[in-house]
Structures are given as structure tokens and as C-alpha cells.
A and B are shown apart, each in its own frame.
Chain A
Amino acid sequence: DIQMTQSPSSLSASVGDRVTITCRASQSITSYFNWYQQKPGKAPKLLIYAASSLQSGVPSRFSGSGSGTDFTLTISSLQPEDSATYYCQQSYTIPWTFGQGTKVEIK
């Protein structure tokens, strides 16, 4: 199975800060890579698919980059509503696997 490792596990940042979350795959997954946001008690929400494509309706402050094994989610200007846990996912080969999550808190 492909292992997905996110870092950091948690972070605290101020409104307006630029925030970066990284995810590393245990082998190359080309661009079969996705990011999700999950708020407490809610279902995950797709933010970025195919490594860098912004899902419809997602604010443009969210962006994704990377290919192969290393990927990044960037929030260009953190907003209060961005407080959530973020998960990466590889969709290159079954079993689809997720990272352990990164909890983003607002200072």
C-alpha cells in the first residue's frame, strides 16, 4: 500500500497568514493526488483534485502543487472559516489511502 505522510500534524496561525501543508507519498503517484477539508462533525469536502485543480466553489486562496511524491496545499491568506483538519489522499492505486491529517487552528 502507498503510505501518505502529512506534515505538520497541527499548526496554529493568524488570520491573514500564508499556511503550507505538505504531504509525501511512499512512491510516485504522478498527479493522482487530492486534498480535503473536514470540519468537526461534518463530512470531508474536496478542495483540490489532480494535485493542482481547484474544485468548483472552493475559494481561490486555496492552491495545490506537486507531482511524483511531494505535494503541497497552500492557503494564501488564512481566514477564520479555514479552521479545520486537512487530509491528503492518493488516488493512483487501490487501496486509496489518506494522510493522517493536519489540524489547522486560528490564533
Chain B
Amino acid sequence: EVQLVESGGGLVKPGGSLRLSCAASGFTFSSYSMNWVRQAPGKGLEWVSSISSSSSYIYYADSVKGRFTISRDNAKNSLYLQMNSLRAEDTAVYYCARAFNANSFDYWGQGTLVTVSS
């Protein structure tokens, strides 16, 4: 069974940093591109970042470029999101999601809440 489990969320002050993790199991992690998608409270979905299977290709939304860094460790079946210079508008539930056909997202984690507030 495919499972994605995020961790690392919490309350952080503006300007602070946080590192999210996503532990994958039930599939060959090293064969899939992975993504981070976020959802602010009561709002819609926003794609944040993507990383290819071998980390050769990395992309970011303009809203996080220069502040967030996506990475993965295929030996540990893990995906990461290092978030620096956090702002109030980064407050959201962060999901990791597996890339599927037509660049869709077929499996999602349960999400981890990041709250940026003083």
C-alpha cells in the first residue's frame, strides 16, 4: 500500500525556518517525481515545488522561490522541504504528493500544518 507521511510542521515566528519531511513507503520511491502542495486555511490548493526522481529537475512556485528548498534522499525514501524566511502567508497545510500520469498527483500524504505567527 502506498503511504506518504508528512512531519515537521508547527508554529514558527515570521522570518523563522522549518524543515518538512515526507516518508514514503509501498512503492519504488526512486522512480517517481514528487511534489509539495499547500492549502491555506479555508482556501484552495497551491502547488509549491517539484523534484524529479533523480533530483535532476527542480521547480518552485514564484511565491517560494529563493526561500524554500526541495530535496530528496532516495536511500531513505524521503522527501524534504526546507522553508526559510517564513511569512504569515506561508501558513498552510503542506501535502507531499506523488507525480503520476499527465503530471497529476495520485497519492497524497495527510498533510502537516505550518503556522507562521508572532
Contact string against A for B residues 105-118, beta-carbon threshold 8 Å, 1 for contact and 0 otherwise: 11011110000000
Contact string against B for A residues 24-53, beta-carbon threshold 8 Å, 1 for contact and 0 otherwise: 000000011110101000111110011101
Q: A99-B44, A100-B44 are in contact. Are A94 and B104 (CB under 8 A)?
A: no
Check: A71 CB closer than 8 A to any chain B CB: no
In angstroms, Cα B101 to Cα A51, docked, is 11
Tell me whether A95 and B104 are in contact (CB under 8 A): no
Question: Majority SS of interface residues in chain A?
Answer: loop
Check: B1 CB closer than 8 A to any chain A CB: no
Tell me whether B44 and A95 are in contact (CB under 8 A): no
Tell me whether A98 and B47 are in contact (CB under 8 A): yes
Indicate the size class of the contact surface on chain B.
20 to 34
Q: Which residues of A contact B44 (CB under 8 A)?
A: 87, 98-101
Q: Which residues of B contact A97 (CB under 8 A)?
A: 47
In angstroms, Cα B1 to Cα A92, docked, is 29
Check: B21 CB closer than 8 A to any chain A CB: no
Tell me whether A94 and B59 are in contact (CB under 8 A): yes
Q: Which residues of A contact B109 (CB under 8 A)?
A: 43
Q: Which residues of A contact B50 (CB under 8 A)?
A: 94, 96
Check: A55 CB closer than 8 A to any chain B CB: yes
In angstroms, Cα B62 to Cα A60, docked, is 37
Tell me whether B102 and A34 are in contact (CB under 8 A): yes
